[in-house]
A = this chain, B = another copy of it.
Amino acid sequence: AQSSVTVFGAIDLAIAHYKGEGTGSKTHLVPGGNQNNRIGVRGREDLGGGLYAWFELEAGYSPDTGTGLNSNNNNQETGLVNTGGALTFNRRSLVAIGGGWGELRFGRDYVPSFWPLYIYDPFRTGVGFGGVTILGSTVTNLRASNSIGYFTPGCDPYLCRGLFAQVMIAFGENPSGTPQEDNGKVAGLRVGYATPTWEASIAQSRTRNDTVREFTQTSGGGAVEAGFARLMVLAGENRTGRPVAALNNGTRAPFWQLGALVYAGAGYVPIAYTRVSRNDPQDSHATKLAFGYVYNLSKRTALYTTYAHIENRNALALPVNVGADAGPAPLPGRSASGWDVGVRHTF
């Protein structure tokens, strides 16, 4: 029977070899070398008079094992929904109403400061992903639950045209009158300007977080279509209100990145150079160079390969990728590297 919804998703797996200097290597099947794995349903309804509604429920999963990913109930460190590897709509769960006045969204969605990190990175995921250098620390660096968002007209669903802005607030859902009343509250803003040939935007998201006091993610960047390539620049900073282990006992992790998608045949060469530092006691920093090739068999299916190398200095020991398949972290101040060869199919 015909549904009013579309089932959509991506399945992406790569054979990968990652190593950390002084700590060994790992050969494994990694999910999401080119695109993060997801399966979801979405639908849109025209309500007349320019008004519309849409929704999206999107679950992340790991196709190497068939398992799902966690969500967070309250944007707090304690709010992790530990499903032990079962499916949730952790990536997105929202309903929206929109019209000529813009769009209101309710539910779980990306924080505004995530979008520059995504839009101006040529890799976006996998071993080439520059965000490896700053992500991974707190609960709202990608998404927030219990959120209300507003987008100015023309964002579909996150790529905008002209002068645009996005605002998000999200609830921590604590009872009033408790010391933790504000824990998990999120507020974020993104503003930018985009044309078909160039765009630029900046964003910031702040989360009240009793563990790190306040988590502030700032990001900004731009992109230019140069004919032979799409050139990108990206910069940002993760900041906490007190020193945390995830930032190597610092409170700030600033970074910048130069990237490009160089068109080549039936595909493109993604390339990025990233530099991140920490205001930790050792004044640590790291640089990452990544490049690859994505060969499109069709609009939906691609073969790809990636190589990345990260040089840590002082106390930093960043592995070459993030998450469950990060690969071995090197000894502090040493390098890590990795390659993958994979297939990505969207549906």
Interface flag for A27 (CB, 8 Å): yes
Interface segment, one of A78-86, A128-136, A200-208: A78-86
Please tell me if the beta carbons of A43 and B6 are within 8 angstroms of each other in the complex: no
Smallest CB–CB gap between A111 and chain B, Å?
15
Interface flag for A328 (CB, 8 Å): yes
Please tell me if the beta carbons of B175 and A347 are within 8 angstroms of each other in the complex: no
Smallest CB–CB gap between A7 and chain B, Å?
4
Contact of A29 among B13, B147, B174 (CB under 8 A): B147
Interface flag for A244 (CB, 8 Å): no
Instruction: State the main secondary structure of chain A at its contact with B.
Output: strand
- Given contact pairs A28-B173, A175-B328, A65 touches B343 in the complex (Cβ within 8 A): no
Return the CB mask of A45-63 against B: 1 if under 8 Å, else 0. 1011001010101010101
Please tell me if the beta carbons of A81 and B57 are within 8 angstroms of each other in the complex: no
CA distance A5 to B41 in the complex (A): 11
Interface flag for A73 (CB, 8 Å): yes
Contact of A24 among B51, B82, B177, B303 (CB under 8 A): B177
> Number of contacting residues on A, CB 8 A?
82
CA distance A106 to B32 in the complex (A): 12
Interface flag for A237 (CB, 8 Å): no
Measured CB to CB, the residues of A under 8 A from B are: 1-9, 11-13, 15, 23-29, 39, 41, 43, 45, 47-48, 51, 53, 55, 57, 59, 61, 63-68, 71-74, 81-95, 97, 106-108, 145-148, 171, 173-178, 297-298, 300-301, 303, 328, 342-343, 345, 347
- CB-nearest residue of chain B relative to A23? B175
Please tell me if the beta carbons of B95 and A47 are within 8 angstroms of each other in the complex: no
CA distance A47 to B97 in the complex (A): 38
Query: Within 8 Å CB of A82, what residues of B?
Result: 84-85
Query: Within 8 Å CB of A53, what residues of B?
Result: 297-298, 300-301, 343, 345
CA distance A41 to B66 in the complex (A): 13
Please tell me if the beta carbons of A145 and B66 are within 8 angstroms of each other in the complex: yes
- Given contact pairs A2-B6, A43-B1, A345-B45, A107 touches B13 in the complex (Cβ within 8 A): yes
Please tell me if the beta carbons of B107 and A63 are within 8 angstroms of each other in the complex: yes
Query: Within 8 Å CB of A39, what residues of B?
Result: 41, 57
